[in-house]
A and B are shown apart, each in its own frame.
Chain A
């Protein structure tokens, strides 16, 4: 009892330290390596949101979803259509982002409802097909009525704006110079933290325990009185809604979206983040998302100089090397830590058995 009391100041010191580090991160990064890295961190935060959303479906409820990026696409397109010159509509973000959240949840149920009976890999392939269907529609809905503008995508999407305060422009606040990406970072960080808190609370809730029960044994869960249909649909809806929110933010930051950003490879990438980090463990999933977003960028910035140092010129296509190393890293990490880098305690137990 007293030990717990004694540790409390230490915990708070740690929290303060992390909070401080997160607060100065974009400023320090920009000063040390340039604005590009602030953008990379923003991207990582978006992927953290996506991975946490997918973790609800895959990690908590144990339903393998290979078409998750479709919800990201739904959120992104909804935001872009309602806040760009494409239709001439410019709704504020506090309308478009929640709307994206809800519509994505609806699409989650739309995918979940017909697939309730499917198990394991059958579900995986149906979700993959669903993701492709959404992408193909986005790619082709420029005729007969131009809704999505087809493969060209949608340009000049509005940035996040709160009254006269735009997140996209550079300005000086309290004597500190903030660039657009740096301002976005704080918005993204706030939302990511909110999603993390929500996830932690969900995991420990009645619903979270119901998901875990379904993951471990669906029939036993039903025998315990869990309404497996509703609980599974809820997992799809909640997972999808976070994807939709992240999609809306993605559209606002990029200012441009096209169906290319939402292909199967992206879905697979998010699944890799969840599994590599440690399925079902929130901290592990965050780690996975940050690592898998950061790693290709780090390789991107080291491959060309390394080749120049070794051979005096760039011999091999840097893009190929980048992805090659990325693939090798996936293989090596999984071989060394089959349960993920930071597995959930339940999973650790299972694996020890």
Chain B
């Protein structure tokens, strides 16, 4: 029983991080139909930048409270990620808006490789450990352990997602985003500036990616230049699982993927009589993805779009 609860708690924590990253994928995909392969690298840049700033402020010994230091790190990381997202959209994606569908996919791969290697030059190949600014308290709930960090991650992620939904459903910018996603040429006829909307989607996604980066490095206690790639793939998988282009789908997909992975890691040994160990947890996640998509080809919450739209 406590294994179940424990894995659920870990899964929801991991899942909220996936969900934040998945939102970035899904917003961009919903509007311009591009798999932004470089989105995972934004998480990495966000994590490493935040860590560097936090470390620098801690070493400087200004006597700032830990919360202020974390906020400062997060703020710098967000700004840098947004700047990077803006640059990549302008340089690598916008000129290819009307090109064959796979062309921007290749530039996205190129951007991903470039960001990874710039990060490697800048931060080196070694693992960065999270500076000891925060002390984690462990609570016991029904035989399972919960840390205050986990609670903070889940709450913050929930608040950010609620904020994003508010922006998308309650503001003029959100209206423009939804209109462009629905039909960009008609939206432009109605006076929506498509370029502005697309940039906004990239910036929002980048900001969420930076937060996710800080979260994931705080949660696991480490960060390095290669962390974005796999995390990005997982988050993209989550977005597809929920139905890509659908915000609620990305959140659901993220949470589900996190929980599935944790449960898989916790139970796969018992289920198979220890023939398969927890190193198969990724197999488990991808397997669920394949099954879900076989039954619902456009994801859990994705609309069934007819081919001749």
Contacts and interface: CB of A to CB of B under 8 A. Distances in A.
Tell me, yes or no, whether A binds B. yes
Interface string B112-123: 111011101100
Interface string B266-281: 0000000001110110
A80 B307 CA distance: 44
Nearest to A117: B297
B100 A327 contact: no
A275 B100 CA distance: 10
Interface of A: 58, 64, 114-115, 117-122, 124-126, 128-130, 132-133, 136-137, 139-140, 143-144, 218-219, 264-265, 268, 271-272, 275-276, 279, 316-317, 320-321, 323-324, 326-331, 334-335, 338-339, 347, 350-351
A322 to B, nearest CB: 8
B308 A219 contact: yes
Interface stretch (B5-13, B62-70, B91-99, B175-183): B91-99
Interface residues of B, number: 52
Contacts of A64: 102
A276 B103 CA distance: 8
B237 A122 contact: no
Interface in B199-246: 229, 233, 236-237, 240, 244
Contacts, number: 144
A125 B289 contact: yes
Contacts of A326: 113
B307 A327 contact: no
Contacts of A130: 286, 290
A320 B106 contact: no
Interface of B: 29, 35, 91-92, 95-96, 99-107, 109-114, 116-118, 120-121, 125, 229, 233, 236-237, 240, 244, 275-277, 279-280, 282-283, 285-287, 289-290, 293-294, 297-299, 307-308
Contacts of A338: 96, 99-100, 103
B282 A126 contact: no
A323 B107 CA distance: 14
B106 A219 contact: no
23 contacts: A122-B240, A122-B297, A124-B35, A125-B240, A129-B237, A137-B283, A271-B105, A271-B109, A275-B102, A317-B125, A320-B120, A321-B121, A327-B111, A334-B96, A334-B99, A334-B107, A335-B92, A335-B95, A338-B96, A338-B100, A338-B103, A350-B100, A351-B99
A339 B100 contact: yes
A324 B111 CA distance: 9
A329 B102 CA distance: 16
Contacts of B107: 330-331, 334-335
Nearest to B112: A327
Contacts of A139: 279
A129 B286 contact: yes
B283 A121 contact: no
A268 B294 contact: no
A43 to B, nearest CB: 19
